[in-house]
Chain A
Amino acid sequence: AQKVTQAQTEISVVEKEDVTLDCVYETRDTTYYLFWYKQPPSGELVFLIRRNSFDEQNEISGRYSWNFQKSTSSFNFTITASQVVDSAVYFCALSEAGYGSEKLVFGKGTKLTVNP
């Protein structure tokens, strides 16, 4: 069965600090997809990134970067030089390949607070 674990429930940092959000997943499939979503205080869910299981290249998008390591079943998210606007709950999610496997299984989320 699929499972996503985000062990950090809450993280608090000061603006301009770097912060890494951890995500560990479990799946029996060899083909799967990993996602990160952001939920700001306004409540909507915003898609950030998708990775497939065959692509272990790290990705950088501005201040955001993602480190995918199959060997440790981890897909960690780093925010460099954090800003107050980064304050949100961040969710890691997993879906599997194959027809009928499209549902997202979410972790419990990590609440990030960036203080000025």
Chain B
Amino acid sequence: DAGVIQSPRHEVTEMGQEVTLRCKPISGHNSLFWYRQTMMRGLELLIYFNNNVPIDDSGMPEDRFSAKMPNASFSTLKIQPSEPRDSAVYFCASSPSGTGGGNQPQHFGDGTRLSIL
């Protein structure tokens, strides 16, 4: 079975450019999560969706970040304009949860390593 698929795997771009990260969750999973991993802050949740609806976006750093989930099989995380401090590894995860809260394990994609010059 296919796992969570993220693209691109690596992205290098210049400050001020728009960056779009993509995620395809595991089929049948109705919760999708975006996490960011940095040396300073570790792994932190940016936003998560349940049944395509944003539930908690309290981790989104600022208005430069936006996320969408137009359907059950696709989500994007966009940064516009990008800044060097956005450099990090961005993970997408999905789980088959919903009514039981956080009781299901989240399955992670391989991540997107983003470098903003």
Q: Is the CB of A50 within 8 A of B89?
A: no
Binding site for B on A (CB under 8 A): 31-33, 35, 37, 43-47, 50, 52, 91, 95-109
Q: Is the CB of A102 within 8 A of B50?
A: yes
Query: What number of A-B contacts does a CB cutoff of 8 Å give?
Result: 76
The digit string for B91-112, where 1 denotes a CB below 8 A from any CB of A, is 1010101111111111111110
Q: Using a CB-CB cutoff of 8 Å, which residues 41-57 of chain B contact chain A?
A: 42-45, 48, 50, 55-56
Q: Please indicate the chain B residues that have their CB under 8 angstroms from the CB of A52 in the complex.
A: 103
Q: Is the CB of A102 within 8 A of B110?
A: no
Q: Is the CB of A106 within 8 A of B43?
A: yes
Q: Please indicate the chain B residues that have their CB under 8 angstroms from the CB of A102 in the complex.
A: 31, 33, 48, 50, 55, 95, 97, 101-102
Q: Please indicate the chain A residues that have their CB under 8 angstroms from the CB of B31 in the complex.
A: 102
Complex Cα–Cα for A43 and B55 (A): 27
Provide a sorted-by-A list of 19 A–B residue pairs whose CB atoms are within 8 angstroms. A33-B103, A35-B105, A37-B108, A45-B93, A45-B108, A50-B103, A52-B103, A96-B101, A96-B102, A97-B103, A99-B50, A101-B101, A101-B102, A102-B33, A102-B50, A103-B48, A104-B33, A106-B43, A109-B42
- Give the number of residues in B that approach A within 8 Å (Cβ atoms): 32
Binding site for A on B (CB under 8 A): 31, 33, 35, 42-45, 48, 50, 55-56, 59, 89, 91, 93, 95, 97-111, 113
Could you tell me the distance in whole angstroms from the C-beta of A77 to the nearest C-beta in chain B?
15
Could you tell me the distance in whole angstroms from the C-beta of A2 to the nearest C-beta in chain B?
10
Q: Is the CB of A44 within 8 A of B110?
A: yes
Known A-B contacts A91-B43, A102-B50, A103-B33; A44 and B108 likewise in contact (beta carbons under 8 Å): yes
